Amino acid sequence: MNYKLFTTVFLLALAIIFIVQNAAVVELRFLFWKLAMSRALMFSLLVLIGIGIGWLIRGHMLHQARNHERKPDR
């Protein structure tokens, strides 16, 4: 069994355990909005939002680094 397959199966098993243990519905409130969703879905969405923000920040920093390398020194 190769390393990537083992890691994927292991992470999938952890995700399934997480979802089963956090199936309770919670109510989220933000300003005027109320939303009821499972705790597992809420955590998953928050993680995806965090990954997206990190990806955007990394892309911005790489873009700045490339632009800095292209500019000639005075």
Q: How far apart are CA 26 and CA 42, in angstroms?
A: 9
Quick: pLDDT tens for 28-67: 888 998 989 988 888 888 888 988 999 999 999 998 888 8
Which runs of E-coded beta strand occur in the chain? 25-30, 33-38
Q: How many residues does the chain have?
A: 74
Residue 74: pLDDT band (50, 70, 90) is low
Which position has the higher pLDDT, 53 or 15? 53
What angle in degrees, to the nearest 10, is found between the helix axes of 3-21 and 39-70? 130
Alpha-carbon gap, residue 36 to 25, rounded angstroms: 6
Q: What are the residue ranges spanned by the domains of the chain?
A: 3-70
User: Which among 52, 55, 56 is positioned nearest to 44, based on CA atoms?
Assistant: 52
